[in-house]
């Protein structure tokens, strides 16, 4: 039996120029892959459970909306804000505590709920007033957690109490139910 002679092929012997050409081709493929990215997922998302972090939609900015405060030339200031998904739709709302700027004393607070604009690029919308400044209360703290807004409200037992020395303290909570915010009062120690 004779062995068939196979001619020696040029590409079967690797030379430095072959390695350089292969390395260059691989680098080009890797660079091209870095520029070509798949489209963002378009699958519908289910609403998140209350308290889960939101990462895709920014919470409304209270500085981008005119709050219903009657401050005249003094202007208003947003003192506190907290954000979270209050209605279970997966989009965060912002709760803002604002009051008129004052040179002294304790101006009453308003607590407002803001949601995103009705269309892309529109300013935030005011959807609820949880505490009206006419109630003459100030907000000591505010949190949004697990789909609820909690706050400590400081107020006055009578008109004889100096406005700089509130003597009533309430722990309150609001939760979105049946298309509106329901307020509940939590037990708190008497006095401030």
Q: Phi and psi of 12, rounded to 5°? A: -85, -10
Is the model more confident about 13 or about 61?
61
% of the chain exceeding 70 in pLDDT: 69
Q: What is the pLDDT of residue 19?
A: 63
Asked if 154 and 108 count as a contact pair (C-beta separation under 8 A), the reply is no
Quick one: pLDDT at residue 104?
74
Q: Is the per-residue pLDDT at 51 higher than 60? A: no
Among 145, 160, 122, 143, which residue's Cα sits nearest to residue 49?
145
Q: What is the pLDDT of residue 43?
A: 36
H-state helical runs in the chain: 16-35
Ramachandran category for residue 49: left, alpha or beta (phi over 0 → left; psi -120 to 50 → alpha): beta
181 has pLDDT over 70: yes
Q: How far apart (Å, rounded) are the C-alpha atoms in residues 183 and 74?
A: 31
pLDDT (tens digit, 9 = 90+) per residue, 105-162?
778 999 999 999 888 888 899 999 999 999 999 999 999 999 999 999 999 999 898 8
pTM of the shown model: 0.67
What 3-state DSSP class applies to 68?
coil
Buried b / exposed e along 52-73 (16+ C-beta atoms within 10 A)? eeeeeeebbebeebebebebee
């Amino acid at each position: 039996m004779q062995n068939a002679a196979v001619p020696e092929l040029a590409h079967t012997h690797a030379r430095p120029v072959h390695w350089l050409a292969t390395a260059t081709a691989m680098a080009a493929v890797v660079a091209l892959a870095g520029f070509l990215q798949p489209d963002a997922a378009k699958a519908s998302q289910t609403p998140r459970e209350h308290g889960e972090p939101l990462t895709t939609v920014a919470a409304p900015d209270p500085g981008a909306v005119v709050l219903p405060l009657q401050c005249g030339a003094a202007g208003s200031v947003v003192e506190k804000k907290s954000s979270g998904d209050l209605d279970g739709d997966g989009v965060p709302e912002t709760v803002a505590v604002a009051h008129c700027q004052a040179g002294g004393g304790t101006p009453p607070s308003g607590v407002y709920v803001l949601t995103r604009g009705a269309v892309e690029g529109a300013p935030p919308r005011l959807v609820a007033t949880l505490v009206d400044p006419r109630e003459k209360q100030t907000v000591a703290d505010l949190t949004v957690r697990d789909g609820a807004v909690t706050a400590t409200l400081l107020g006055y037992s009578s008109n004889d109490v100096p406005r700089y020395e509130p003597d009533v303290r309430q722990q309150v909570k609001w939760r979105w139910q049946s298309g509106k915010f329901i307020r509940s009062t939590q037990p708190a120690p008497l006095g401030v």
